[in-house]
Amino acid sequence: MTKLTTEEVKHVATLARLAITEEEAEKFAEQLGKITGYVEQLSELDTTNVEPTTHVLPLVNVMRKDVAEKGLDRDKMLLNVKEHEDGQVKVPAIMD
Amino acid sequence: MTLFKRSAQELQAAIHNGELTIVELTKEAFARIEKLDDSVKAFLTLNKEAALTQAEEMDKVPMAERGPLFGLPIGIKDNIVTEGIETTCASKMLEGFMPIYDATVMEKIKAAGMIIIGKINMDEFAMGSSNENSAFKTTTNPWNSAHVPGGSSGGSAAAVAAGEVPFALGSDTGGSIRQPAAYCGVVGMKPTYGRVSRSGLVAFASSLDQIGPITNNVADNAALLEVIAGLDAKDSTSANVEVAKYTEALTNDIKGLRVAVPKEFLGEGVGEAAKKSVEEAIEVLKSLGATVEEVSLPHSKYALAAYYILSSSEASSNLSRFDGIRYGYRTENAKNLLELYTKSRAEGFGDEVKLRIMLGTYSLSAGSYDAYYKKAQQVRTLIKEDYDKVFENFDVIIGPTTPTPAFKIGENVDDPLTMYANDILTIPMNLAGVPAISIPCGFEAGLPLGLQIIGKHFDEATIYRTAHAFEQATAFHKQKPQMWEGN
């Protein structure tokens, strides 16, 4: 399980939406292999019936009142958008 | 000698008796930065014009209406959003990004009347322990510029250690406040998870991240935490627990305090000087009336492995928002939407960030989830239970903050596991969510060492009381880098 193939690395890169080169795929395969090899040590521990911890606070479903609040200003929100038109964000073609 | 040698209380006294103005104090910060920052390289963006205008206004406010930190300069780590001041996370991905609102901590700091001096360098997206992962520059250690300041809040610790600002904010996901505080010989607190609102902190690992103060001394640190802590409707994980008066906890009385020393914290890999400084600290605490016993945190050795799975998994999810569309770096000439995503991210993120996104995506992917992510969450439970158990019988846990003083720039960086080992003393506290401080406790070859004091959930007051008593009984915090001499 510790050695990752470059094919596996490319699949993960696709899932992560990261363009990678052939050299990067090889570098990642080596680095991820090292880290996952190190992480293997967790399997020494018997965790049968141990509840997973997502975060440490005893909080469930923090809700606010269902009342409309003013959101961020649209013109301000567009300040950091590279391309926009008529108050809408522009992107390239979604389908080829 | 810089004005910032004085504590907040001493600065306020000088302002109140007319010896100093807020404008003069603000100018001092920019003068120090101009003189020193070519070498320290702590600041990414300066807020000079606005800060001086603000300072002039502040000087007109009647003394009676001023709080304890009113008019005092502060630097902000560049992963905390500041309305109208560029916020980059030291990443090409966010170069030029102009936040349109303030983080909750910024609202609180402004309400307290503090002067925002500028934004501070860090490892890109807070991933790293040396500041070498910044896309823009590598901050240096004010004690020796050939060494790293630590990370990821290395710039914040260096700015305070250099006397450029008396206050800074950092963030801590696996040691990112405490390790640089130790390396730079300053005081850095990671509060309890949920103590300080994360609204406006650019997320790395949401179940671990906390914002905290970095200062020259314990009293200043306690005063700043008092300002930034508290429940916030904008962060559903901020806790509805009353904020204690931390500054009033500094009683100098630790008689009967029960101190635990985990044997794992003084074991293999911890340098002789760090060990000795902690052993000497134990004697100081005993002489002040504390009782000290050895304990065990048996799952400590698994913390690093669990941390890298959990933090990278959360990061891979959090950083998916950087898609080149609504803000941040956008590639030129993408043929279609998928290419816009993959190229913008490939060109915008640095190597370490990509590695962690890859590791996190892999850990969360079908076929790996149970073996990695779920397993790590279960191990996290075991680590937290270690701490719960010790805290049934003890008030604080102490140990070294780091196994060695700051390493040299360029050292270690080729081997990720060596870099990660540097974090081994600080990571379990984030997994357990407990608060922990680093304070100066010694030197090795002219570089500072840190003592870590860990407390129960939401008991920062006892940590501050212990840290302050130690500080008053020792002189480590009075030693400053050479650059404090002269004007």
Mean pLDDT over the full length of chain A: 91
Task: Give the gap in angstroms from C-alpha A84 to the nearest C-alpha of chain B.
Answer: 9
pLDDT at residue A2 greater than cutoff 70: no
Q: What is the pLDDT of residue B330?
A: 96
Of B327, B374, B433, the CB nearest to A80: B327
Q: Does residue B206 carry a catalytic annotation?
A: no
Say if the Cβ atoms of B302 and A42 lie within 8 Å.
Answer: yes
Q: Is B152 one of the annotated active-site residues of the chain?
A: yes
Within 10 Å of residue B212's Cβ, how many Cβ atoms? 31
- A 10 A CB-CB count for B203 gives 17
Specify the higher pLDDT residue, B453 or A1.
B453
Question: How many CB pairs (< 8 A) connect A and B?
Answer: 162
Q: Among residues B41, B77, B108, B456, which one is catalytic?
A: B77
Measured CA to CA, the distance from residue A33 to residue B292 in angstroms comes to: 42
Q: How far is A18 from chain B (nearest CA, A)?
A: 4
Note which residues in 24-83 of chain B have CB less than 8 A from chain A.
none
**Percent of chain A residues past pLDDT 90, beyond the cut:** 71
Minimum-distance CB partner of A39 among B237, B305, B457: B305
Q: Which residues of B305-337 are buried (b: 16+ CB within 10 A; e: fewer)?
A: bbbbbbbbbbbbbbbeebbbbbbbbbbeebeeb
Instruction: Kindly give the confidence (pLDDT) of every residue in chain B, 487 residues in length, as a single tens digit, with 9 standing for 90 and above.
Output: 588 999 999 999 999 999 999 999 999 999 999 999 999 999 999 999 999 999 999 999 999 999 999 999 999 999 999 999 999 999 999 999 999 999 999 999 999 999 999 999 999 999 999 999 999 999 999 999 999 999 999 999 999 999 999 999 999 999 999 999 999 999 999 999 999 999 999 999 999 999 999 999 999 999 999 999 999 999 999 999 999 999 999 999 999 999 999 998 888 778 899 999 999 999 999 999 999 999 999 999 899 999 999 999 999 999 999 999 999 999 998 999 999 999 999 999 999 999 999 999 999 998 889 999 999 999 999 999 999 999 999 999 999 999 899 999 988 655 555 555 566 799 999 999 999 999 999 999 999 999 999 999 999 999 999 999 999 999 999 999 998 886 5
Q: What are phi and psi of B136, to 5 degrees?
A: -110, -45
Catalytic residue chosen out of the listed positions B129, B130, B153, B176: B176
Active site residue B77: yes
Cα–Cα dist A80/B372, whole Å: 37
The confidence score (pLDDT) of residue A61 equals 82
What pTM was computed for the model? 0.96
Among B358, B364, B427, most A C-beta atoms within 10 A, so best to mutate, is B358
Q: Does residue B365 have a cis bond before it (omega within 30 degrees)?
A: no
Write down the pLDDT at residue A1: 46
- A51:B337 CB<8 A: no
Between the CA of residue A19 and those of A23, B124, B135, B268, B343, what are the distances in Å? Answer: 12, 19, 19, 41, 6
Which pLDDT value is given to residue B134?
Answer: 98
Would an 8 Å CB–CB cutoff place B330 in contact with chain A? yes
Q: pLDDT tens digits for B158-179? A: 999 999 999 999 999 999 999 9
